[in-house]
Amino acid sequence: MNRMRVKGLMRKEVYEIVRDPSSIAIAFVLPLVLLLIFGYGVSLDARSVPVAEVVEQPTYLTASFLGELDHSPWFRPARYPDQASAEHAMMQGRVQAILWLRSDFSRRSLSSGEAPIHLTVNGVDANQAHIIQNYVNGTWQNWLQQQATLQGQPLAVPVVADVRIWFNPALTSRDYLIPGLIAIIMTLIGALLTALVVAREWERGTMEGIMVTPVAKTEVLLGKLVPYFVMGMCGMMLATAMAVFLFHVPLRGSLTVLVGTAALFLLTALGMGLAISVLARSQFVAAMVAIVTTFLPAFILSGFLFDIRSMPQAIQILTHIVAARYFVAALQTTFLAGDLWSVILPNLLGLGVLCIVFLGLSVLRFRKRLD
């Protein structure tokens, strides 16, 4: 290892990053756009869901129940004269659910346990359908209890659900999406960008020029690793600052734990990027391989958008080789729950194993040769 050579390579890399708008775009502009889209645009909550209300025989009881719905922030109710016209509205996508109160609503609502309300939900978006179902149920239970109290009667419902939500009491999906997004951004910088810049050196023939100098392969790798590590950590800091100050995501854990986990994950991502670039010497192939093996799994299989526990068994096993899985779990814990070592430690262990595998692979397979 020679300090002058490593310094020379790193300085070259920094000039290239600073002077090449495309790497700045991947490292900082793309993450910014993603953060804004997920922060402001995408939300997995159901809010202001259009619901059709069909009342066959209006009474003071139906008015009272519907009043409850009308005041809820989750729904945007609209009255329809009969079931047929409400169904028509659902077909056209104007409403997502139909709440049908039959003529015997008032009579049966107070007497027995039979469900006197009829709810039809558009099940195309299964997630939203579940949420609507739960919200209506909750509102219904609430109202029943109120009525019972008003009339001095004990409620016929045997069990009352007393739901308490931990860690994200307001149930805003933004609070767990944004920490997860940090993993995506670091995958972009660590794996995709690194794989691309090394492939570019092969394409432009600069690598061939470097190869015939007395530089050692560890020096070449280090010359790539260090600048992109710094750049990835900057991206992480930027995303964390935006999460905390712009989107007001709570950071309950310590910054030290956050930075430490991020550093370990970034090394793993860089290892993946370098390993890809050993195999792929054209930018096109490198980009494809990096997207399919690092970026998409980080999006889909990391638990960032979809809960791993609800995946089929085989896919659940597969997620164990997705580095982002460990990082997303650690990030969400650090942000929403705090430095919960029982969760963070196993994830750090998983990351550490993958980090050694990928970095080791790139060091072993990188050759100072063309064949």
Partner 1 sequence: MGVIVVNNLSKSFGKGTSRKDALKNVSFEIAEGSMTALIGPDGAGKTTLLRLLAGILQPDTGNLHVLGHALPHDALQLQAKIGYMPQRFGLYENLTVEENLTLFADLHNIPEDRRKARFDDLLTMTALGPFRARRAGKLSGGMKQKLGLACTLIHPPRVLLLDEASVGVDPISRRELWSIIQQQVIREKVTVLLSTAYMDEAERCDHVLLLHEGEILAQGSPSDLIAPMQGHSFLLQEAAMAARALQSQVARLPDVVDTVIQGDGLRIVMKKVEPPPLPADLAVRGPSKPVPARLEDAFVSLLVNRNPHHSIPLPPATKAVANDAAVVEVKSLYRYFGDFAAVKDVSFSVQKGEIYGLLGANGAGKSTTFRMLCGLLPASSGTLRVAGADLRTGEASARARIGYVSQKFSLYGALSVLQNLSFFATVYGLQNRRKRDRIGWALEELELKDYIAMNAADLPLGYKQRLALACALMHEPSILFLDEPTSGVDPLARREFWARVNALAQGGTTCLVTTHFMEEAEYCDRLVLMSLGEVLAEGTPTEIKSRVRHADQPNPTMEDAFISLIEEHERVSRRAS
* Residue numbers at the binding site for partner 1 (CB under 8 A): 2, 4-5, 7-9, 11-12, 15-16, 19-20, 201, 204-216, 368-371
The CA angle 128-247-173, to the nearest 5 degrees, is 20
Complex with partner 1: residue 309 or 369, whichever CB lies closer:
369
Q: How far is the CB of 208 from partner 1 (least distance, A)?
A: 5
Rounded CA-CA distance 72/212 in Å is 71
Instruction: Using alpha carbons, select from 370, 191, 189 the residue that is nearest to residue 281.
Output: 370
Radius of gyration of the chain (CA): 27
- DSSP E strands in 56-173: the ranges are 75-80, 97-101, 117-121
Complex with partner 1: residue 175 or 201, whichever CB lies closer:
201
Complex with partner 1: residue 107 or 368, whichever CB lies closer:
368
Q: How far is the CB of 25 from partner 1 (least distance, A)?
A: 15
Complex with partner 1: residue 35 or 207, whichever CB lies closer:
207
Complex with partner 1: residue 104 or 208, whichever CB lies closer:
208
Complex with partner 1: residue 102 or 368, whichever CB lies closer:
368
Place of tokens 């009043």: 67
CB atoms within 10 A of CB 297: 19
Give the residues across from 49 on adjacent strands: 75
Among positive and negative, which fits the CA dihedral 102, 160, 63, 128? negative
Place of tokens 């690598």: 207
Q: How far is the CB of 225 from partner 1 (least distance, A)?
A: 17
Q: How far is the CB of 14 from partner 1 (least distance, A)?
A: 11
Contact, 45 vs 172, CB < 8 A? Answer: yes
Both tokens of 122, joined, read 């558009």
Q: How far is the CB of 202 from partner 1 (least distance, A)?
A: 9
Q: How far is the CB of 226 from partner 1 (least distance, A)?
A: 15
Q: How far is the CB of 176 from partner 1 (least distance, A)?
A: 40
Q: Which residues contact residue 203 at a Cβ distance below 8 angstroms, ignoring those fewer than 6 apart?
A: 281, 282, 283
Complex with partner 1: residue 252 or 368, whichever CB lies closer:
368
Q: How far is the CB of 198 from partner 1 (least distance, A)?
A: 13
- Helix (H) or strand (E) run with residue 149 in it: helix 126-150
Give the residues across from 117 on adjacent strands: 101
Distances (CA, A) of 238 to 26, 28, 31, 178, 300: 14, 9, 9, 12, 23
